[in-house]
Amino acid sequence: MGNVIECAKLTKRYPTSTLALDSLDLEIAAGTSFGLVGENGAGKSTFVRLVMGFIFPSAGKLQVLGHSRVARAHPRIGYVHERQFTDLYLTGRQYLTYMAELSDLWGGTRRRRVDAGLQLTGMLSAADRRLRTYSKGMLQRLAIAQALLAQPDLVILDEPTAGLDPPNQREVRDVISRMHGEGTTVVLCSHNLPEVEELCDTVGILHQGRLLRAGTMQALRVSPTLAEIVVNTPEPVGPLMSRLGLSHAVVDARDHTLRIELNQQATVLQALLVAGVSLRSLNPVEESLETIYLRETQWSGATR
- Does 258 reside within a domain? yes
Please, how many CA atoms are within 13 Å of residue 126, restricted to the half-sphere of its CB?
A: 20
Q: How many domains does the chain have?
A: 2
Quote the pLDDT of residue 170: 92
- Does 297 reside within a domain? no
Quote the pLDDT of residue 94: 94
Quote the pLDDT of residue 303: 45
Q: Are residues 175 and 249 in the same domain?
A: no
Quote the pLDDT of residue 123: 93
Contact (CB, 8 A) for 122 and 170: no
Q: Are residues 87 and 235 in the same domain?
A: no
- Round to whole Å and give the CA distance between 56 and 36: 20
Beta bridge pairs of residue 214:
204
Contact (CB, 8 A) for 187 and 28: yes
Q: Phi/psi zone of residue 89: left (φ > 0), alpha (ψ -120 to 50 degrees), beta?
A: alpha
Quote the pLDDT of residue 103: 86
Quote the pLDDT of residue 299: 66
Quote the pLDDT of residue 251: 85
Domain that holds residue 76: 3-220
| The domain boundary residue, chosen from 176, 193, 220 | 220
- Does 189 reside within a domain? yes
- Does 34 reside within a domain? yes
Q: Are residues 80 and 126 in the same domain?
A: yes
User: Three-state SS for 32?
Assistant: coil
Q: Are residues 91 and 232 in the same domain?
A: no
- Does 291 reside within a domain? no
Quote the pLDDT of residue 302: 45
CA-based end-to-end distance of the chain: 37
Q: Are residues 75 and 208 in the same domain?
A: yes
User: What proportion of the chain, given as a percentage, has pLDDT over 70?
Assistant: 96
Backbone angles phi, psi at 10, to 5 degrees: -65, 125
Residue ranges of the chain whose pLDDT lies below 50: 302-304
Q: Are residues 172 and 231 in the same domain?
A: no
Q: Are residues 205 and 143 in the same domain?
A: yes
- Round to whole Å and give the CA distance between 211 and 257: 36
Q: Are residues 166 and 230 in the same domain?
A: no
Q: Are residues 59 and 120 in the same domain?
A: yes
Q: Report the CATH number that the domain containing residue 85 is assigned in CATH.
A: 3.40.50.300
Quote the pLDDT of residue 85: 63
| The domain boundary residue, chosen from 171, 202, 220 | 220
Cβ atoms < 10 Å from Cβ of 128: 10
Residues 6+ apart with CB under 8 A from 60: 7, 8, 9, 10, 11, 23, 24
Quote the pLDDT of residue 83: 67
Q: pLDDT digit string (tens) for 131-148? A: 999 988 899 999 999 999
Q: pLDDT digit string (tens) for 268-303? A: 999 998 999 889 999 888 888 998 899 888 865 544
Q: Are residues 239 and 111 in the same domain?
A: no
| The domain boundary residue, chosen from 193, 220, 247 | 220
- Does 139 reside within a domain? yes
Q: Are residues 121 and 42 in the same domain?
A: yes
